[in-house]
Structure 1
């Protein structure tokens, strides 16, 4: 059981009515709270919860409609996303309680200060290195509009300006990160056919690839619902069409790909994990056709070349700058 869930269950008498769990971990909490439903923006966790508690956890950038007696927000890592989620939940809870639970090192005390805008907040419990806070929503705010929270910016690229729409919680929200900037300069000679942008974020790489290789069947994949929505908006803003897929890791991608291009993710919550990137390298060959290519950007200190050569083939460094490297490998 996730320690945040354990803290909730120490106060189980508070959570017996119709309850919305926002961002719940993939544990047995829904089983312990039979009147609760979940709202997840993490495709992997939603899939696990749906497998165990079919139909009780939705996926997307907005909660399921309906009335709730209370809601619990499991603190996400992004401050901007936290603000959107708290506003969204509070807008549905006039005169009812809103709870916030999170790890101390994730900044739950800081986030709890945001509850003051809805009423008088109080800490209910502190255990398992986590805290549980409550606020009675005295005056519900207006439901926030995602459009108003999106960052719109323009990238001046070699083949013309690219419009980008980034939503709260998306990697490198509102700006172009250094690794992607380097990769954008090294997208020449991508094999034609079915091309995957793995970990698409706001859709910058995917939109650039589709514009540069319009005949390719482009797919974008990410685990995060806000990234999926950002990518769809970025594609639309540039008059481009591509398939956007929600899925947790490379196993969610289709087979018979001509190329996989990625600035792979490695952060999960307050913990650092390279598992998604390593799994991509380890199983890329299963998804690529013969002659298909993996091209990715990574921190130079990560020992990816031996892993690439073990599972795919010779690893070539195309470029290096600002602590990042572009790697290329081709399936035999």
Structure 2
């Protein structure tokens, strides 16, 4: 059981009612709170929760249309995302109660101050290196407009300007990260056919690929609902069309791909995870056609070439700089 869930269950009497658990972990919490529903923006967590608690968890960027008189937000890493989520929940809770739970090292004490926008926050519990806070909602705020919270910036690329739209919580919100910047310079000479932007984030690489290879079919994939929504906004801002899907890792990707292009994710919450990236290296072969190419950017310290060569083929170093390297391998 996640330690944040354990803290909630120490106060289980407070939660034996119609309740929305926002950003909940994929553990057994729903089984202990029979009147609760879940809301997640992580496709992997949604799949796990749906398999065990069918119909009780919902995936997306807005609260589900289920009845609840109280809500618990599991604190996300991004302060901007937390602000949006708290407002979205509070808007549905006039006269209700809003709880915030999170790890101390995740910044729960500072984040609890965000509850002050709705009333007087109170700390209810502190255990398992986590804290639980509560605020009574007096006058509910207006429903926040998620798209109005987007940050937009323009990239001056060799084939013209590219407009990027990022939503709160999306990787590299409001700016171009160094790894993607380096990979954008190494998009020439990809095989023709179905292209995949794996871990698409705000859709920077995907949009650049679609413009560079307009006749190619393009799919963008990310585990996060806010990233999927951002990618769709970025494509629309540039007059481009492509398939955008939510899936938990490369196993949710199409097969028969001519190329996989990626700035693969390795951060999740306050912890660091490399699983999605390593799964990509191990499984890319099954998704690529013969001669298909994997091209990705990675931090220089990550020992990816041996994995690439073990599971795909000879690994080439295309470029390096600013602490990153571009690797390529063909099936």
TM-score interval for Structure 1 and Structure 2 normalised by the shorter chain: over 0.9
Alignment-derived partner of residue 152 in structure 1 = 152
**Counterparts of 2:66 and 2:177, CA distance in 1:** 38
**Counterparts of 2:280 and 2:66, CA distance in 1:** 39
Alignment-derived partner of residue 325 in structure 2 = 325
Alignment of 1:180-195 (within 5 A): 180-195=180-195
**Counterparts of 2:206 and 2:15, CA distance in 1:** 42
Alignment of 1:104-253 (within 5 A): 104-253=104-253
**Secondary structure at the residue paired with 2:51?**
helix
- Say yes or no: does 1:14 pair with 2:27: no
Alignment of 1:75-94 (within 5 A): 75-94=75-94
1:147: Cα distance to partner? 1.8
1:109: Cα distance to partner? 0.5
Alignment-derived partner of residue 295 in structure 1 = 295
Which consecutive residues of structure 1, in runs of 5 or more, have no partner in the other structure?
none
Alignment of 1:26-105 (within 5 A): 26-105=26-105
> Size of the alignment, in residue pairs?
331
The 8 Å contact of residues 73 and 99 in structure 1, kept in 2 or not, is answered as: yes
The 8 Å contact of residues 232 and 244 in structure 1, kept in 2 or not, is answered as: yes
1:67: Cα distance to partner? 3.4
**Counterparts of 1:273 and 1:60, CA distance in 2:** 23
Alignment-derived partner of residue 314 in structure 2 = 314
- Say yes or no: does 1:271 pair with 2:244: no
**Secondary structure at the residue paired with 1:295?**
strand
RMSD, aligned α-carbons:
0.7
1:198: Cα distance to partner? 0.2
TM-superposition CA deviations, 1:112-141 (whole Å, max 9, x none): 010011001000001111100000011211
**Counterparts of 1:3 and 1:133, CA distance in 2:** 15
Q: Residue 300 and residue 249 in structure 1: after superposition, are their counterparts in 2 closer, same or farther (change >3 A)?
A: same
**Secondary structure at the residue paired with 2:239?**
coil
1:68: Cα distance to partner? 1.4
1:69: Cα distance to partner? 1.1
TM-superposition CA deviations, 1:39-75 (whole Å, max 9, x none): 1000000010011111111101001124311000001
**Secondary structure at the residue paired with 2:187?**
coil
**Secondary structure at the residue paired with 1:99?**
strand
Which consecutive residues of structure 2, in runs of 5 or more, have no partner in the other structure?
none
The 8 Å contact of residues 281 and 307 in structure 1, kept in 2 or not, is answered as: yes
1:311: Cα distance to partner? 0.7
1:203: Cα distance to partner? 0.3
**Counterparts of 2:178 and 2:86, CA distance in 1:** 31
Relative to the length of structure 2, the TM-score reads 0.99
The 8 Å contact of residues 263 and 297 in structure 1, kept in 2 or not, is answered as: yes
**Secondary structure at the residue paired with 2:182?**
helix
**Counterparts of 1:304 and 1:177, CA distance in 2:** 20
**Counterparts of 1:179 and 1:170, CA distance in 2:** 15
**Secondary structure at the residue paired with 1:226?**
helix
**Counterparts of 1:295 and 1:328, CA distance in 2:** 4
1:216: Cα distance to partner? 0.6
The 8 Å contact of residues 67 and 92 in structure 1, kept in 2 or not, is answered as: no
TM-superposition CA deviations, 1:200-221 (whole Å, max 9, x none): 0000000000010011110000
TM-superposition CA deviations, 1:63-102 (whole Å, max 9, x none): 1124311000001111110000001111111111100000
